[in-house]
């Protein structure tokens, strides 16, 4: 497994991030534990979760599955760089009580304690703000984070789904307090969705913030979905199915699959490998439902796409261009 440093920290993390969103809703606890063991044995040390994962009445279930895995011992916790998130309403499917969601100092304090209990650990390596909170000033957020760092309950803070200007605001506010600030940004980024290249990625590079792309296969669209349908395998569903109803998108995905078939490459592995070539990317988040899906993702780390394939991918999925030139008419 290849490793890199998380943003401007000294923390070394694997180039593949194990996403745990499916643990609980789609993958039972025993299989989830087996996947985490396999990932750790393969050298994957960076695990990502969130307090709301489990969803609905089962919010927090995913953190509990991870906590039970840590409780098995075997240095599992010591070998893992653990990331979780705060923001979402934890009150089941109903409305949140005041101060039981978002990023007020009170909710951050409550959410950390609840996550630590579910995760059965006394510290979180990377505590991420799941979304921006327009109602809470960054000075309040950083004051709460500073206390948690002093208490040893978290080590670093990161963001998720932040626009570029919020990354700048957050880190400028942290700098005024003499704090490190955000060390990572978790964002939607893949071959088919490259808008973050305009402002989010430049802001992240400017502030030394690592980038952790989520949905690297764009909801399965980049995982060989047309070929699988043709071969009678799993059919596209949800957003992927809706996207393929668009003639232009379907033609684009078909061209992508044809290119990779020509070179004997697997679409899902290529989508991950392409992200690993992007400047500033720490590692994409993979959310395997099975051990086989994890094995496929691991192969992407060693995959060398070559100039011919990279050039062809750029032609099929053109980027936005550099900022600010991309904004010019």
**CA 313 to CA 111: how far, in whole Å?**
42
Report, as residue numbers or ranges, the catalytic residues. Answer: 53
| DSSP-H helix ranges across the chain | 29-41, 61-70, 76-79, 105-119, 138-150, 164-176, 200-206, 225-230, 238-244, 247-263, 267-276, 291-301, 306-316
Contacts of 41 (CB under 8 A, 6+ apart): none
CB 87 within 8 A of CB 103: yes
Q: Give Cβ neighbours of residue 248 (< 8 Å, ≥ 6 apart).
A: none
Return d(Cα 256, Cα 263) in angstroms, integer.
11
């Amino acid at each position: 497994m290849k490793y890199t440093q998380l943003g401007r920290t000294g923390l070394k993390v694997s180039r593949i991030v194990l996403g745990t969103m499916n643990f609980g809703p789609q993958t039972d606890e025993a299989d989830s534990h087996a996947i985490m063991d396999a990932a750790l044995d393969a050298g994957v040390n960076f695990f990502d979760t969130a307090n709301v994962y489990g969803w609905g009445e089962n919010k927090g279930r995913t953190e509990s599955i991870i906590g039970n895995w840590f409780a098995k011992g075997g240095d599992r916790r010591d070998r893992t760089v653990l990331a979780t998130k705060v923001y979402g309403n934890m009150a089941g499917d109903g409305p949140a009580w005041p101060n039981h969601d978002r990023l007020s100092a009170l909710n951050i304090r409550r959410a950390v304690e609840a996550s630590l209990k579910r995760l059965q650990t006394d510290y979180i390596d990377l505590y991420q703000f799941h979304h921006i909170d327009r109602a809470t000033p960054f000075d309040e957020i950083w004051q709460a984070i500073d206390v948690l760092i002093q208490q040893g309950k978290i080590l670093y803070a990161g963001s998720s789904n932040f626009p570029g200007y919020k990354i700048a605001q957050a880190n400028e506010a942290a700098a005024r307090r003499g704090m490190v600030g955000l060390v990572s940004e978790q964002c939607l980024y893949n071959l088919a969705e490259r808008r973050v290249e305009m402002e989010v990625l430049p802001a992240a590079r400017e502030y030394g913030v690592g980038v952790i792309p989520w949905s690297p296969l764009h909801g399965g669209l980049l995982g060989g979905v047309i070929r699988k349908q043709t071969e009678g395998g799993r059919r596209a569903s949800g957003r992927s199915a809706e996207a393929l109803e668009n003639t232009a998108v379907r033609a684009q995905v078909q061209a992508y699959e044809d290119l990779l078939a020509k070179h004997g490459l697997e679409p899902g592995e290529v989508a991950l490998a392409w992200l690993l070539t992007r400047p500033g990317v720490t590692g994409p988040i993979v959310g395997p439902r099975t051990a086989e899906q994890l094995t496929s993702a691991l192969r992407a780390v060693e995959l060398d796409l070559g100039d011919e394939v990279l050039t062809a991918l750029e032609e099929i999925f053109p980027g936005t261009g550099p900022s600010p030139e991309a904004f010019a008419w």
